[in-house]
Amino acid sequence: MDGNRRYGRSRYGPAGSLRGHADGGRNLEAAIRWCAELRGSQCPPVLGELSVYAFSSENFERPRAELDGLWAVFEAQAPGLAEQCGRLDVRCRVLNTCGWGRFPEGVRRALEQIQKDTETCSGLTVNVCVGYSGSEDICRAAEAISQTKRAPGSLSPDDFLSYLQLSSPIDLLVRTSGETRLSNFALYNVAYSELLFVDKPWPEFGKDDFQAAIDAFDDRDRRFGK
């Protein structure tokens, strides 16, 4: 979900970054709808999860005024996201590796409410990563494993994956806004991901772009080293 701030400043002027973030949040709702529709057209369903990088651990270093505006956007849009997910039978999980202590109480409650409202949904799963870092996720998993009594040599790559908050391999990673790096997202999960970099900022990423990404993925020859 990259490029919201730059999009906002370009479209609305130098003070428009928060309007860009708000547009990006609305586009997340659209993307969830596209994924739910695609899953509904598949028999049997193939698309199981959508994971979005909404706010990284490093984003806490942004100016306080921008963070306060982001918190307001999160709180304002959370009820609509929960309502849409419930209507589409989408389960929404909020993944956080840095701890909730760095978030305002209202934001924490709003995000927890989304999870509560959708916990019984059985269709698509959406993982919203906020205060998330791929390297932190790996560190927390290693700490958890160190507390177990596993025999040496008994841990497989799939076993390790199960200890992560983001605990599924990623088949297709799409990064918007012309950046061509991972920026500490899901580092363990992307071992065999197909990578697609799109020049458009996230708020301009439309349904045609989504379908083009799916078509590009379908055209890839995934050999997994074989």
The per-residue pLDDT of the chain, averaged, comes to 96
- The residue behind tokens 């304002």 is 76
Please tell me the class of the 4-219 domain.
alpha beta
93, 113 Cβ separation under 8 angstroms: no
Query: What is the pLDDT confidence band of residue 225, given thresholds at 50, 70 and 90?
Result: confident
The answer, yes or no, to whether residue 36 has pLDDT greater than 90, is: yes
For residue 129, count other CB atoms closer than 10 A to its CB.
25
**Set 2, 23, 117, 137: catalytic member:** 2
pLDDT at 171: 97
pLDDT at residue 149 in the model: 86
- pLDDT tens per residue, range 168-196: 999 999 999 999 999 999 999 999 999 99
Which tokens belong to 165? 């908050």
- Give the rounded percent of residues in the chain with a pLDDT score beyond 90: 96
Find the angle CA(66)-CA(203)-CA(180) to the nearest 5 degrees. 85
Q: Decide if 2 is catalytic.
A: yes
Across the range 82-107, mean pLDDT stands at: 96
- The residue-averaged pLDDT of 28-32 equals 98
% the chain with pLDDT above 70: 100
Whether residue 9 is predicted with pLDDT greater than 90 in this model: the reply is yes
Among 4, 23, 27, 59, which one carries the catalytic annotation? 59
* Parallel/antiparallel/unpaired status of strands 125-132 and 91-95: parallel
Residue 59 is a catalytic residue? yes
What is the pLDDT confidence band of residue 226, given thresholds at 50, 70 and 90? confident
CA distance 127 to 130: 9
The per-residue pLDDT for range 42-87, each reduced to its tens digit, is: 998 999 999 999 999 999 999 999 999 999 999 999 999 999 999 9
